[in-house]
Amino acid sequence: MLRQEGKRRWFLVWYILPALVVYTAFMLVPIINSMRLSFFSGDGLIPNEFVGFDNYIKLFAEYPFNERFWNAFFNNIKFFVMVTLYQNILGFLMAVLLTRGLRFSAFLRKLSFIPTTLSVLVVGFLFSMIFNPVWGVFDQILRVLGLESLIRPWLGDRLTALPIVSMVVSWQFFGESIIFYTAGIDAIDDEMLEAARIDGAGFFSEIWHIILPSILPVVGIVTILIFVGDFTQFDIIYAMSTSMGNPGYSTDIFGSLFYRTAFSSPERGGWGMGMGAAVATIMFVFVFVGVGLFLIFFNRRRSKLS
Amino acid sequence: MRKTAVLALVLLTLVAGISMAGGGREAEGTTKLVFTSWRTEDIERMNRINQVFMDENPDIVVEFQPIKDTEYDAQLKSSLETGVAADIVFLRSYDAGLQIWDTGILLPLNDVVPALADFPGSARGAWSSPEDDLYAVPFVGVTHGVYYQKAIFDKYGLEVPETWDEFISVCERLDANGETVFAQGTKEGWPLYEVIFSGLGANFYGGEQARQDLMAGAVKLTDPQFVRAFETLNELQPFFPAGYEAIDYVSMQQMFGTGQAAMFIGGSWEIGIFEDLGSGQSEIGFFPPPVENRGDRLSYCFHVDAGIGINAESENLDAAKRYIEWASSPEFAQLFMEELPGFFAYTPGSYSLSNSLANDMIAAVEGADVTVRTVWEKMSAQSPSGNTLMWEALIDMYNGIKTPAEAAAHVQRGLDTWYRP
């Protein structure tokens, strides 16, 4: 019996092996190599001069690198908070409505997922056109509504650029949250909801006392997905405000900072591959630690509730 | 055992198939050259030029595969690094090109193309190593100035301005009549620096001499001459269109090319783009940067833009050398300047240009103090580069966040962190 079990364990290794090899070759090795690069500097294509922690010191403490870095960091946090709010709250409310058995809910469920299937670059371009001050339809709608005084250079203003970009991202991935939440709500035992209704629970107390606690793990998963997505987000910034994070770096986040510093020539805002690798390493550590903390937080909440 | 043998056979066949598919050789014994550049808008024109070469050299097929401008440097670097780069590559002037040369991946051209010795020294200097190895054919120069819609100027009886005061009063007249004066936006920083500051500013900061002094450390950007240039250029801001903070480069071109604005401060490379948008040489005109006082010598920013080099690891070196040799000939220069009006070849020779805009641009060189973009050479070799500092400063100045003096100080502060004259 024991021997047989041992044999079975060894067999498992063979199942894991293909994925492990691919994962090691295409993920682990490049990640470790990129971390190694962050300790090097040099003008060439591959940095070859060992500089120890210099790149990190520069990044955290030397003007203008620290300014760009902290700016990207705080922008990224703002971006994450905005996207989480838009996407979670709207996605959740939409999901609650869609699971109420309204007439078009099956159709609406499908419809809400369509933006997610589009390319981020396409979505970015589309919204750049919508908000374009010369031809943009958004300003024209405001004009028709007589709200001309509200018109601003949406994507050219430091105050509005980032909120608009996060709205666009939320618009695109809003369907994903709906899918998660509807699945979570569908899984709630109907008897429990019925019992609550018989006890006289209203719409909001139903949401607050039954739906929300039951799908808290889903909220956790969605938030973690948004967290990972936002702290590695690059495409939407690139499409809507170039890799410079225009205007004046107000939409610059980790992804665009990394792309610009690592892959551009100094003439166009690059800092060399070594510095780029340092930015990438910090992004990695941040996302890694962040996901860990989120998991702990949501697990605690769940065990408290159950 | 047999299984292993079968597997090996399958693998061998696969590998053979892959290696036969590669190699870049066409079936009929011709050689394929891949030519890459950052100008995706030139595909058709470059194909026509290359067709002439292919007709003369039937054994070579030249494929033009440009990459989007903003991605070009990254892609060129990684493709050279991984050995999948094009055979013939566009190279940026000064330090960006030099950085690629330093990796030893470009072929020195001094002996390959002897004719290069006759090219103008200033152009050769932009693609030469400190040891005088020339690694690219100086290929394209561009100029900067102001385009205007003739119909709008005629409507108000406006004359082409020569001095800055005349220029401003033209702006005021247009503005008073409700016209959109400039198709200018500040969403992207590079047009502000490359075209407005280097192009129109040179007349105010003191042209080529000032640039040399700046490089040598004799003057700073915070000195009155440069601050005055920032101040003078800031006078244009009231004439920018509504929402200019959010107008990107492509929208700027579309606006002017479709006749929605009277003037466009731009570069010679835009002739073709405007023509495609319906503003050809009969619809629009060009005037060089306005000088301060009538009769002043024009400081003309004639920037070294692109060189073409050979990837030394190319499998088709001989064909690439033949192409480069042809690309340094007057025949090519004439073809090229006709196909791409607004791009000026450095190849010695006398040329006649049929495009009047291009002719006006080249005519202005006569007697002018020729310079290049302000902080391009040396001062953009490291980060924060002069170029990006200028982008940041000018966006902030035009968006009203920094005063002209603060903008100048911002650039100097950044340069001071690393630039040692």
pLDDT (tens digit per residue) in B143-165: 999 999 999 999 999 999 999 99
The answer to whether the CB of B173 falls within 8 A of the CB of B158 is yes
On average, the pLDDT of chain A sits at: 88
In chain B, residues with a C-beta closer than 8 Å to the C-beta of A244 are: 188-189, 388, 391
Q: With bands split at pLDDT 50, 70 and 90, how would you rate the model's confidence at A195?
A: confident
State the pLDDT at residue B36.
Answer: 93
Cα distance from B116 to chain A (closest Cα, Å)? 27
- The one-character DSSP state at B415 is H
CA distance B210 to B374: 9
**B182, B245, B252, B305: best to mutate for the A interface, most A CBs within 10 A:** B245
Which is nearest to A178 in space by CA: A89, A83, A82? A89
Largest CA distance in chain B: 92
CA distance B138 to B375: 20
Q: With bands split at pLDDT 50, 70 and 90, how would you rate the model's confidence at B83?
A: confident
Q: With bands split at pLDDT 50, 70 and 90, how would you rate the model's confidence at B77?
A: confident
CB contact under 8 A, A44 and B248: no
Q: With bands split at pLDDT 50, 70 and 90, how would you rate the model's confidence at B22?
A: very low
pLDDT (tens digit per residue) in A113-162: 899 999 999 999 999 999 999 889 999 999 999 998 899 999 999 999 99
**B400 burial type by CB count under 10 A (0-12 exposed, 13-18 middle, 19+ buried):** exposed
Q: Which CATH code of 2.60.40.10, 1.10.3720.10, 3.40.50.300, 3.40.1050.10 fits the domain covering A70-305?
A: 1.10.3720.10
* Average of per-residue pLDDT across A271-291: 93
Q: What interface predicted TM-score (ipTM) does this complex get?
A: 0.87
Whether the pLDDT of residue B193 is over 80: the answer is: yes
State the pLDDT at residue A5.
Answer: 57
CA distance B302 to B97: 18
Whether the pLDDT of residue B387 is over 90: the answer is: yes
Which one of B99, B251, B391 has the shortest CB-CB distance to A134?
B251
State the pLDDT at residue A44.
Answer: 59
State the pLDDT at residue B18.
Answer: 45
CA distance B328 to B347: 6
Which one of A64, A65, A264 has the shortest CB-CB distance to B74?
A264
Q: With bands split at pLDDT 50, 70 and 90, how would you rate the model's confidence at B213?
A: very high
Domain locations along chain A: 70-305
Structure tokens at A242: 């170039």
Q: Which domains does chain B have, with CATH numbers?
A: 22-141+303-358 (3.40.190.10), 143-301+361-416 (3.40.190.10)
Which one of A46, A249, A270 has the shortest CB-CB distance to B81?
A46
Which H/E stretch holds residue B71? helix B69-81
Backbone angles phi, psi at B129, to 5 degrees: -80, 165
Which is nearest to A58 in space by CA: A70, A73, A72, A49? A70
* Average of per-residue pLDDT across A244-251: 90
The answer to whether the CB of B236 falls within 8 A of the CB of A148 is no
Q: With bands split at pLDDT 50, 70 and 90, how would you rate the model's confidence at B24?
A: very low
pLDDT (tens digit per residue) in B350-383: 787 889 999 899 888 888 898 999 999 889 988 8
Q: What is the pTM of this model?
A: 0.84
Which one of B255, B376, B380 has the shortest CB-CB distance to A134?
B255
* Average of per-residue pLDDT across B220-244: 96
Whether the pLDDT of residue A2 is over 60: the answer is: no
CB contact under 8 A, A46 and B417: no
pLDDT (tens digit per residue) in A227-237: 999 999 999 99
Q: Which residue of A has its CA nearest to B417?
A: A63
CA distance B74 to B96: 11
Q: With bands split at pLDDT 50, 70 and 90, how would you rate the model's confidence at A217?
A: confident
State the pLDDT at residue B4.
Answer: 56
Q: What angle do CA B283, B287, B290 make, to 5 degrees?
A: 145
Lowest mean pLDDT among A34-48, A261-275, B122-136: A34-48
CA distance A169 to A87: 9
The answer to whether the CB of B61 falls within 8 A of the CB of B26 is yes
CA distance A245 to A234: 10
In chain B, residues with a C-beta closer than 8 Å to the C-beta of A264 are: 73-74
Going B11 to B17 to B20 to B21, the CA torsion angle's sign is: negative
State the pLDDT at residue B347.
Answer: 86
Phi-psi region of B178 (alpha: psi -120 to 50; beta: other; left: phi over 0): left
Q: With bands split at pLDDT 50, 70 and 90, how would you rate the model's confidence at B26?
A: very low
CA distance B47 to B41: 12
State the pLDDT at residue B242.
Answer: 92
Question: Can you name the residues that pair with A81 across neighbouring β-strands?
Answer: none
The answer to whether the CB of B133 falls within 8 A of the CB of B110 is yes
* Average of per-residue pLDDT across B65-94: 87
pLDDT over 90 percentage in chain A: 54
B141 three-state secondary structure: strand
State the pLDDT at residue B14.
Answer: 47
Q: With bands split at pLDDT 50, 70 and 90, how would you rate the model's confidence at B19?
A: very low
**B383, B388, B402, B417: best to mutate for the A interface, most A CBs within 10 A:** B383
- Higher confidence at residue B161 or residue B1? B161
* Average of per-residue pLDDT across A240-247: 89
* Average of per-residue pLDDT across B340-359: 86
Which one of A157, A267, A269 has the shortest CB-CB distance to B96?
A267
Question: Can you name the residues that pair with A49 across neighbouring β-strands?
Answer: A41
State the pLDDT at residue B325.
Answer: 92
State the pLDDT at residue B224.
Answer: 96
State the pLDDT at residue B2.
Answer: 54
Whether the pLDDT of residue B20 is over 80: the answer is: no
CB neighbour list of residue A77: distance below 8 Å, 6 or more residues apart: none
CB contact under 8 A, A247 and B399: yes
Structure tokens at A144: 């028709």
DSSP string, chain A: -HHHHHHHHHHHHHHHHHHHHHHIIIIIHHHHHHHHHTTEE-SSSS--EE-TTHHHHHHHHSTTHHHHHHHHHHHHHHHHHHHHHHHHHHHHHHHHHHTTT-TTHHHHHHHHHHHHHS-HHHHHHHHHHHT-TTT-HHHHHHHHTT-GGG---GGGSHHHHHHHHHHHHHHHHHHHHHHHHHHHHHTS-HHHHHHHHHTT--HHHHIIIIIHHHTHHHHHHHHHHHHHHHHT--HHHHHHHTTTTSSTTTT--HHHHHHHHHHS-GGGT---HHHHHHHHHHHHHHHHHHHHHHHHHHHHHHHHH-
pLDDT (tens digit per residue) in B272-319: 889 989 999 999 999 999 999 999 999 999 898 899 999 999 999 999
- The one-character DSSP state at B118 is G
* Average of per-residue pLDDT across A269-285: 92
CB contact under 8 A, A266 and B380: yes
Distance of CA B276 to the CA centre of its chain: 19
Which H/E stretch holds residue B324? helix B317-327
Q: What angle do CA B406, B409, B414 make, to 5 degrees?
A: 130
State the pLDDT at residue B16.
Answer: 47
On average, the pLDDT of chain B sits at: 89
Whether the pLDDT of residue A248 is over 50: the answer is: yes
Structure tokens at A84: 């989480």
B368 three-state secondary structure: coil
